[in-house]
Every structure is written in C-alpha cells, then in structure tokens.
Chain A
Amino acid sequence: MLAESLVVAGMIFVVGTLGVIVRRNVIIMFLCIELQLNAVNLTFVAFSRYVGIEGQVFVFFVIAVAAAEAAVGLAIIISIFRHYETVDVSNFNLLKW
C-alpha cells in the first residue's frame, strides 16, 4: 500500500501547489498550504510502516507546527484585512524592493 499512498500524497501535494499559484484569496491559499502539509504527513505515515515509528512522531510535530502557523498566519490575515479591507493578495504588493 506504500506506493499507492505515496501517489495519493503526491497528487494532493500537486493540487495544493496549484491552488497556491492560481488562487488570489489569501484564505484559500492558506488552506492549500495546509493541503500540502497534509500530503507530506501522508508520506510520513506511509513511510513509517517501512522505516520506523519516528515517521509518526514527526507527523505529530508537523501538526503542532501547522497549528502554530495557522494561529499566526490567520492573525496576520486579520490585521492585513483591517488595513486593506480585502483578502485578495493582488492588492498586497509591498513584498518587493
């Protein structure tokens, strides 16, 4: 079942990547990043059957980090939204020199 799990994880990851690239809604971009993280979690779990329990321990940490990231990221989104009154990233163009 390893190969199949990995293929599924790859597909989810690619879909998440596509979402980050094409969507402009910052919340949905964020969700797509979570999708990517989830895909990675799946690979960890799949490999843990064959490599060791550490894979699962790592997934535990990834979830914790994802929680922290969500909290901070969403706080940032809120404060940006307060400023621009929008969640469309094409309005956030200060991220350059």
Chain B
Amino acid sequence: MAEILFFIFAAVAVGAAVGVVVSRSPVASLLFMVTTLASTAGIFVLLEAHFLAALQIMVYAGAIMVLFLFVIMLLNLGHEYQRDIRGNVAVIMGFAVTGLMGGLLVRQLGGGTAGLETNLGPGDAIDAALLEYGAVGAIARPLFTDYVVPFELTGILLLVAIVGALVLAKKAS
C-alpha cells in the first residue's frame, strides 16, 4: 500500500514539477508548484515526517505560494501568455547540462545507499520518539534543546526579511 502511494505521489510530484517549468501562465505554474509541494508532503508522511508534511502544506503551499500569487496579481501578470523560453541554443545546452546532471544524480542516488538501508538504528529511535512524544514533540525536542540558538536566529532572520521586504517594496516617496 505504502509503495503504491509513494509511486503515485512521486509521479505527481515530478509531473507537476515539469508542469511548473513548461506552463506559460505564471498562475498555472504556481498551481503546478502547489501540486508538487502537496505530493512531496505526501511522501513526507510516508517517510514518517508528519509534522513536516503539515508544515509543508501550511507554510509552503499555503503561505509562501499565496505570497507568490499575490505578487502575480499585484503585477497583473495573470493573462500574459507570451512565450518566455530562451533561444534554441540556450535550451539545447540547458537540456544537455541538466540531462547530464540528472543522469548523474539518479545514477548516484539510486544505487549508492545500500549501506544505509541496513543501518536502521536512527529509524527505530525516531519511531520510538514518535511514539513517546508524538509527531510534534519528536521534532520539537531537538529544535528547542540542541538547536535553540539557530532557531532564535531564524526568528531574527525572518524579522530582517520582513523589514527588508518592506523597505524594498515601498514606493519611493
């Protein structure tokens, strides 16, 4: 069952990703993007990262993508359908390079993990943590103990980003 679900999610995620790239309309791209993110969230669930799956849907697909949508709306790009692909040479070279890279990545990632498959110790630990603390608690524990400083710094980063965005987007008076 999980395997079947995984392949469905995987196929949808990759397909929607292609859709993001090939859609002329930014809005269509954006919707494909949301689909990819949702499918990835599904894979997260299958990998027992339940909290992250929820986070992915709520923050990524929900908040960030809506931000993109707002910008598209703000710039009034919704009905611009003209072709914006680069010239042939660029496309061929782009395909060549990314194709090579994809081949390499698939070759390496597909076959190079045999050693890790057998080492299921952390997996068991995660399962135990999930049982004991729940999906949120399992990730919250390290986040608020070992990684509390980076966590706080992330808060500051977000604050800086908000201020920066305000300054940048403000109309020059």
Contact = CB atoms under 8 A, between A and B. Distances in A.
Check A-B contact in the complex, CB < 8 A.
yes
B131 interface: no
A49 B84 contact: no
Nearest to B72: A27
B139 to A, nearest CB: 5
A12 B36 contact: yes
A46 B29 CA distance: 26
A25 to B, nearest CB: 5
A41 B40 contact: yes
Interface string A1-42: 111111111111111111101111101101110110010011
Interface string B133-153: 000001100110001001000
A15 B47 contact: no
Q: Is the interface of A mostly helix, strand, loop or mixed?
A: helix
B59 A67 contact: yes
A10 B101 CA distance: 9
A15 B14 contact: yes
A48 B126 contact: yes
Contacts of B14: 8, 11-12, 15
B1 interface: no
Contacts of B126: 48-49, 52-53
B48 A8 contact: no
A27 B77 contact: yes
Interface string B54-93: 0110011001100110011011010000001110001101
10 contacts: A2-B116, A5-B6, A10-B106, A14-B105, A35-B36, A49-B123, A52-B122, A53-B125, A72-B164, A75-B165
Interface of A: 1-19, 21-25, 27-28, 30-32, 34-35, 38, 41-43, 45-54, 56-57, 59-61, 63-72, 74-79, 81-82, 87-88
